[in-house]
Structure 1
Amino acid sequence: MTDDFDARKAQASQWFSDLRDRIVGAFEGLEDSHSEGPLSDAAPGRFEVTPTRREGPAGEDHGGGKMSVMREGRVFEKVGVNISTVWGELGTRAQASMTARGVPGMAEDPRFWAAGISLVAHMQNPHCPAVHMNTRMFWTPGAWWFGGGADLNPCLEYDDDTAHFHGALKSACDAHDGDYYARFKSWADEYFFIPHRGRARGVGGIFYDDLNTGDWEADFAFTQAVGAAFLPAFQPLIEARRVQEWTEADREAQLRHRGLYAEYNLVYDRGTKFGLETGHNADAVLMSLPPVAKWY
């Protein structure tokens, strides 16, 4: 299975890298084109790119990626777009978790390979929603699967924005399977829920994991569609909302909502737990945390 999947691994890894380049270019374009409204007289933001590396127990190369973070731009207060391709052996806790999920052969062989893209954006303007997106491929000697999704996290909700975001994701899902959107929207509603607060962290989106229909090409094509749908789903919302004036009360609502986001990512998020448990760069794993937040 390893030899058969070498080309597919490379293909998936390259796709995530190409998608990263498209999104980074689009986000810097939003910074450049922000010519009116709040903060339009500030300097346009730019991404700072830092290579990441995963080391094995003896310091051997176990892959890595790029951590791309923009801070204090005109439009984005903090946004990270990370890619990684890593491999090695899972630690005891991660191996036990995968075994409990029913990954074939994981109890006997902890080797893995994983590649993906992860994005979180926190905006300057409280009228602009925060957003998360990730897609990934995971391989073990006994199994492979895809996962990912995207969800919108406004502190000031607009029904039209929610409808547009969900509509773009639904179109991506419907092109591959008529049941995907309802199934993956429901999964997102459940997954992005904060039990100790009794509420969702945003207005949802889609979430899927362990996607293996037996047709690698079809599952990869769907994962590509989810990634490709992200900019059409999100960018028009920012172009419309970035010019709106905001008040101190709006900023206060934004900071308190960010507190919810931080709580979720630190306590419940599966990707955060996996990244830290497998020894990936901690700064890259915790890139999702907002630059400023409030709690009461």
Structure 2
Amino acid sequence: MTDQMTDQKARASQWFHDLRDQIVAAFVALEDSQTDGPLSDQPAGRFEVTKTTRQSDDGSDAGGGLMSVMRGGRVFEKVGVNISTVYGTLGKPAQQAMAARGVPGIEDDPRFWASGISLVAHMQNPHCPAVHMNTRMFWTPGAWWFGGGSDLNPCIEYDEDTAHFHNVQKEHLDPHDPALYGKLKEWADEYFYVPHRGRARGVGGIFMDDRNTGDWETDFALTQDIGRAFLPAFVPVTEKRRNTLWDDADKDTQLVHRGLYAEYNLVYDRGTKFGLATGHDANAVLMSLPPMAKWV
């Protein structure tokens, strides 16, 4: 591995950590500013931060990260913001999956390094949409690539909220390539589709994987802008809806929609499968699951 790639890995890992800090601070500010409306009389939520670890098959250290989870806040019912940097060798299932995706050299050399941020927020108010965001860098001896994106998951849809979320994504992607937003939106529509339900899990967003144009700096800059788009895309929607009154029917709609979200993450999500297959902390991997859900 070259010194240049070592430096690039460090830069990517630090960026995900910095983005994590920005998002955690913004979410705490949302909790503190919730002084009117439902649940405003209860204590503002705070993140519980736990170190996570990964061990290789021989028990040696293989990296880890931070799991930051807030439960029972004024705005957030459960939100997790995780970062990790892990490394080692891929187990056979993960190695075979990478080979099937065309990762060069992975069949002969299963070493890997991965770093990223993963966020899922489930809201108290059914009129506030749940949201998901992640960005990551992955390295093997034969290749490197970036991936990630964000998507909005309202149980009660508002067209203007969907438009705002998508417009902010587009504004951040257009400087890289005016055609890029359309491509990544279409990719998100395909990726976040729930085949056994015949529908999308939400109103979409942007998504990419295996991003390697051959220019690391360009691809890293794009990944950073995907991360930078998250707060201005999501926070104004939350601020707009958080004081809306809800009833039991709204809450029931939210719980049923969360069931759909849980089904997708457990059955189809590539990140969930990879995290469990490579031995990362199961609580961190499954942080995305809602605190309560319902099936009918």
TM-score (norm 2): 0.99
Q: Which residue of 2 aligns with 1:252?
A: 252
Q: Distance in 2 between the 1:227 and 1:98 partners?
A: 25
Q: Give the structure 2 partner of residue 217 of structure 1.
A: 217
Deviation at 1:199, TM superposition (A): 0.4
Q: CA deviation at 1:58?
A: 2.2
- For residues 144-163 of structure 1, give each alpha carbon's deviation from its aligned partner in whole angstroms, at most 9, with x where no partner exists: 00000000000000000000
Which residue is equivalent to 1:227?
227
Identity %: 72
Match of 2:155, SS state, is coil
- Corresponding residue pairs, total: 296
Aligned to 1:152: 152
Q: Which amino acid aligns with 1:143?
A: A
Residue 195 (structure 2) aligns with: 195
Q: How far did 1:2 drift?
A: 4.2
- Cα distance in structure 2, aligned partners of 1:98 and 1:218: 24
Name the structure 2 match of 1:117: 117
Superposed counterparts of 1:1-296, under 5 Å: 1-296=1-296
Structure 1 distance, partners of 2:28, 2:8, is 31
The one-letter code matched in structure 2 to 1:162 is: T
Cα deviation code 1:35-92 (max 9, x no counterpart): 1000010100000000001111222111000000000000000000000000000000
Q: Using the TM superposition, give the Cα deviation of residue 221 of structure 1 relative to its aligned residue in structure 2, in angstroms.
A: 0.4
Q: Find the aligned partners of 1:111 and 1:30 in 2 and give their Cα distance.
A: 41
In 1, distance between residues paired with 2:7 and 2:73? 38
Q: Structure 1, unaligned stretches of length 5 or more?
A: none
Cα offset for 1:110? 0.3
8 Å contact kept, 1:2–1:141: no
AA partner of residue 249 (structure 2): A
Between the aligned partners of 2:288 and 2:172, the Cα distance in structure 1 is 25
SS of alignment partner, residue 113 of structure 1: strand
Aligned with 1:226: secondary structure?
A: helix
CA contact 1:78–1:121 (8 Å) conserved in 2:
yes
What secondary structure sits across from 1:165 in the alignment? helix
Give 2:45's aligned amino acid: G
When structure 1 is superposed on structure 2, of 108-117 and 58-67 the one drifting more is 58-67
Give me the whole-angstrom Cα distance separating, in 2, the residues matched to 1:202 and 1:23: 22
Q: Deviations over 1:91-114 (max 9, x none)?
A: 000000000100010010000000
Task: Please state whether the residue corresponding to 1:34 is helix, strand or coil.
Answer: coil
Looking at structure 1, the residues matched to 80 and 176 of structure 2 have their Cα atoms a distance apart, in angstroms, of: 29
Between the aligned partners of 2:44 and 2:2, the Cα distance in structure 1 is 45
TM-score for both structures, normalised by structure 1: 0.99
Q: Unpaired runs of 5+ in structure 2?
A: none
**Quick one: distance in 2 between partners of 1:187 and 1:250?**
30
